[in-house]
Structure 1
């Protein structure tokens, strides 16, 4: 009779902390989610730090009134002083280096002053008093949409503000220079600038914004890399949870519930270490299958993939690393491992991934997480394969290295934890089982 009472659940009352702790844990989890998710989306412009933009000054200068002037140097100095250094990492480099960094996704944009800038500006000044057609000198702003669409918008906003001030400053100087040349000789009638000339000199620089290597169609304006990363990580995360629960049910350590019924098999005498090896093997077998499914679906959806083999192989590695590490965390922490996995792979992972908002536009505590959070490493590798020709320098090298490191860390954690439990005699067979093998109990 005593045995039956145990099966039906008759036992002394649950302590008060048994009801309070779940609410407390859920509340802490909600606070963490709010801090991470709302913190990184609240004000990206305010959170800007170390945002990499190149400044290329190719201006050769010009000779005006017998002296050499270089307006490009003046503009470079003005931009360096006006653009806040604590927010923007303004890199003064040549065009070849800027192009390389754009191609590898190391900068989000480039401001380019052409070689004939000063010459064209002097021609513009002369044309304001001499009839004839003339074009305003151009400063080009190249955005890098492959590094992030939102990052390109930030580049435009930053350069718009800076170039408006530069345009106004140069326009004032140019107007004063032209007025000085128009000073009449003694006794002569004064010469005034026309209204059209004043307008032309007030804003002498034409700022042209254009994307460097625009994204192809079928990429969701660059979001395809983020969502491909998302399904790789979520599939690895889900793979760990599903394999953990279903294998434990088959081995008789966890009941399987079907509505009001549950099935609890006779437990198998197997060590924690051997159990974990079985789960790892299943995850590694499933990883290439899942990666192949994702690649096939992406192909059917006409998603442009120039390096399908690289995407398949890295997808397999990423899914294996996440699922193996997730299984190790579950083996080490038990039920609490569910919470640990959710925090590590999801709650901390999404804000620090840089898939939607660049990491340089998030609070610094989130940017710090990107150094080791799995989702950011996976995103760098996937983005490199999809948008940057799978160059190792564009994030693929970092993504592979960090994913392998995470996989190794998961293997070590699982091996050490399960061996430690087994050696100390903390066997799972110590649990009392009251049902018969394969029985369905209501």
Structure 2
């Protein structure tokens, strides 16, 4: 007798509802986080740190000593009171170079020592010989190592401030020139109207093979992805070795005998395997990027140790989520380590240009800390206060939190008897009939 054909699995509502919900959550979350964090950086810009350097020595103008550089600084600070987008930090040139070299500022506006003297020469009664009069200048310093977009925003703000100061100075110079008996030629008036020459220079150069200051972000993203993918591989391989999963080799399916192992021990096995794989993966990442692709990098020993540690921490964190939540843990790990991490990393759009929600995420999201540590290793000479110390501390905290969380949850499951597959002795106990004591034989009757 022929067996009836089972109904198609596509007719099951549970399949469509479950798959649809997962797809809806993933698409909505990724769209909101990825685009929401980067859709309006200028509108969200708050307190972008930019150094303001005044090295002007002053000059004698109309019989009194003036420092026009101080007037420029005062004008910029006054204009910044009504606009909170830029945090102008008034420092010396030496301090500005230190902050540029540690990624503490995204750029700088520098006023030279001869600024007042060159301005005074423009309206001097006896001007300098033709070809020897130098115009007043200001220099805008960029810092691509701190982030390309942040450096660009800093450069635009500094150039805008410099041109505004030049226009203000031009109005005063034209007023002074108008008070003189001899009228100025038109060309001279045009020169006085915008007297300052604004130049742009690289405040902290990066190598040509540094992806214009983005190689740290790309390298960090590779480490995070390797940690997540490594955890997925470890999780499936451990389950296969313990007999919980089948292994398919084309049309051939194999399954090992089930080894009933506690959840705590299963997690410990996965962590040990993840640590070993981290050594291999971290080494190969550095070999591929530095050895084969010739990425600009120094402190190769520290970079290797950092790479291995990052992959291990991300992998152990993912394994803890897998052990606690099962299959949904994979989706949760993707959201934590990728969906929320990338837009809050500050690698492309600076943290100061993110909405408040993403600024809060940036304080603890791992990719932000990992990227800062790599910037220190790749661009800032592995300086501890350039983000490296914070990165190591964050990884240590994340590792301890993952271990405590993972083993606490799995131990709780084990104590409650929530095994992944029921043990044979538990099944036999449940299936065996309960024995009842025999009733005592009745006493013989007496005559």
Deviates most, 300-309 or 159-168: 159-168
Give distance in 1, aligned partners of 2:126 and 2:295: 52
2:285 to 284, 289, 294: 294
Residue 88 of structure 1 corresponds to which residue in structure 2? 86
1:303 to 295, 303, 322: 295
Distance change in 2, residues 1:397/1:85 (3 Å): farther
Which of 1 and 2 has greater Rg?
2
Q: Deviations over 1:373-413 (max 9, x none)?
A: 11111111111101000001111111111011111111111
Q: Does 1:276 align with 2:267?
A: yes
1:124 to 117, 122, 129: 122
Q: Which has the higher contact order (CA 8 A, sep 6+)?
A: 1
1:64 to 38, 61, 64: 61
Give distance in 2, aligned partners of 1:31 and 1:193: 65
Distance change in 2, residues 1:145/1:12 (3 Å): closer
Give distance in 2, aligned partners of 1:128 and 1:272: 90
Residue 314 of structure 1 corresponds to which residue in structure 2? 306
- Checking the alignment, whether the CA contact within 8 Å between 1:256 and 1:263 is kept in structure 2 is yes
1:238 to 229, 234, 239: 229
Residue 115 of structure 1 deviates from its aligned partner by: 2.1
Q: TM-score, normalised by structure 1?
A: 0.89
Distance change in 2, residues 1:431/1:210 (3 Å): farther
Give distance in 2, aligned partners of 1:159 and 1:43: 20
SS where residue 228 of structure 2 aligns? helix
Residue 152 of structure 1 corresponds to which residue in structure 2? 151
Give distance in 1, aligned partners of 2:266 and 2:255: 18
SS where residue 302 of structure 1 aligns? coil
Q: TM-score, normalised by structure 2?
A: 0.88
Residue 194 of structure 1 corresponds to which residue in structure 2? 185
Give the alignment of 1:6-405 within 5 angstroms: 16=13, 19-83=16-80, 85-126=83-124, 132-133=130-131, 134-180=133-179, 182=180, 184=181, 191-258=182-249, 262-297=253-288, 298-405=290-397
SS where residue 210 of structure 2 aligns? coil
Give distance in 2, aligned partners of 1:10 and 1:414: 41
- Checking the alignment, whether the CA contact within 8 Å between 1:70 and 1:118 is kept in structure 2 is yes
Give distance in 2, aligned partners of 1:372 and 1:431: 41
Distance change in 2, residues 1:260/1:364 (3 Å): farther
Residue 208 of structure 1 deviates from its aligned partner by: 1.1
Residue 161 of structure 1 deviates from its aligned partner by: 2.2
Q: Deviations over 1:141-182 (max 9, x none)?
A: 1111111222221122212222222211111111111222x1
Give distance in 2, aligned partners of 1:9 and 1:404: 54
**Alignment gaps of 5+ in structure 1:** 185-190, 433-442
Q: Deviations over 1:270-323 (max 9, x none)?
A: 100011111000000111111111111222222222100010001111011000
Give distance in 2, aligned partners of 1:276 and 1:71: 67
Deviates most, 54-63 or 325-334: 54-63
- Checking the alignment, whether the CA contact within 8 Å between 2:163 and 2:196 is kept in structure 1 is no
Give distance in 1, aligned partners of 2:55 and 2:183: 34
RMSD: 2.5
- Checking the alignment, whether the CA contact within 8 Å between 1:240 and 1:326 is kept in structure 2 is yes
Residue 16 of structure 1 deviates from its aligned partner by: 4.2
SS where residue 22 of structure 2 aligns? helix
- Checking the alignment, whether the CA contact within 8 Å between 1:128 and 1:201 is kept in structure 2 is no
SS where residue 112 of structure 1 aligns? strand
- Checking the alignment, whether the CA contact within 8 Å between 1:129 and 1:197 is kept in structure 2 is no
SS where residue 208 of structure 2 aligns? coil
Residue 25 of structure 1 deviates from its aligned partner by: 3.0
Give distance in 2, aligned partners of 1:385 and 1:195: 54
- Checking the alignment, whether the CA contact within 8 Å between 2:140 and 2:159 is kept in structure 1 is no
Deviates most, 423-432 or 393-402: 423-432
SS where residue 89 of structure 2 aligns? strand
Give distance in 2, aligned partners of 1:374 and 1:158: 30
SS where residue 87 of structure 2 aligns? strand
Distance change in 2, residues 1:62/1:129 (3 Å): closer
Give distance in 1, aligned partners of 2:423 and 2:109: 68
Give distance in 2, aligned partners of 1:23 and 1:360: 36
Residue 51 of structure 1 deviates from its aligned partner by: 0.8
